[in-house]
Amino acid sequence: MTRPAARGAALLALAVITLAFLGPFLWVLIASFQPEATLAAQPTLSFSLDNFKAVLTWETIILPLINSVVISGATAVLTVLVAGLAAYPLSRYQLRYRRHFMLTLLFTTGLPVTAILVPVYAMFFRFNLYGSVPAMVLFLTASSLPFSIWMMKNFMDGVPVSLEEAAWVDGAGWLRSLTAVVGPLMAPGVAVVAIFVFVGQWGNFFAPFVLLDTPEKQPAAVTVYTFFSQYGQVAYGQLAAFSILYTAPAVVLYVAVNKYLAGSFSFAGSVKG
């Protein structure tokens, strides 16, 4: 094959793949603006925001989105605080079991959280924590910690120790050093971890689905599923509008951290503990 022909073939293949990936999005995007849209992909020329108006009620979407913000936000803030504290000695001190600890954390990131939820559910039931949002947030924080501590430690390793020395000379302990010197310097890293955890929990369906008891506590991930199983067949336009409103924040936040995450897919450079 000549060079221009190979180039043309590659572009054609990419175009086919892109269209195939676009396919499943199409009817969701179109149906959300079609009044009375059903599962049948029959776009009409009419355009309206009726579907969005119909789902923008307190119980349908506003309360679930508030719940999502509270659950994901609380988990992200708590994870960043706890992981930030934990990363400090791991980054700054020579600890005997540090390598073991870091490897154990990396190992834990591979375990299926779905399977851990069975004993967590039994435990919550036994200790009367079933249905408790704060208890669930603590569990979500714990499940986000292994990966977050890794990321935090790597960001912290990038802050030169020499910058802290001046603070130590002035008599500052580790906590002041962390909050006044290291923390501000690694603010972008903190933001990346926070957003990463937030977006992950924003999409989390299984944990709230099994750990929370009443619909009023459920985040949008669960209510969009409930709406889907009840009205998916008859009011697909509304489901589409609901899906778009629920997905938008995750997309916006992903775009915000995209640049920082780009470097995290390389295995060739080896993992730095």
Q: Which is closer to another protein, CB of 63 or CB of 193?
A: 193
CA angle, 122 then 123 then 129, to 5°: 105
Taking the least distance from each CB to another protein, the nearer of 149 and 197 is 149
In whole angstroms, the minimum distance from the beta carbon of 111 to another protein comes to 5
Residue 113 Cβ vs another protein, minimum distance, rounded to whole Å: 7
Q: How far is the CB of 145 from another protein (least distance, A)?
A: 6
DSSP state of 61: I
The SS3 assignment for 70 reads helix
CA dist., res. 144 & res. 128, Å (int)? 23
Q: What is the Cα gyration radius of the chain?
A: 23
Tell me how far the alpha carbon of residue 254 is from its chain's centroid: 9
Cβ proximity to another protein: between 77 and 142 the closer is 142
Minimal distance in Å, beta carbon 216 to another protein?
Answer: 19
| Cα dihedral 211, 214, 215, 221 in deg (nearest 10) | -10
Angle subtended at Cα 149 by Cα 147 and Cα 152, rounded to the nearest 5 degrees = 110
Nearest approach in angstroms of CB 45 to another protein is 17
265 CB-side CA count, 13 A: 5
Residue that is written with structure tokens 């791991």 in the block: 90
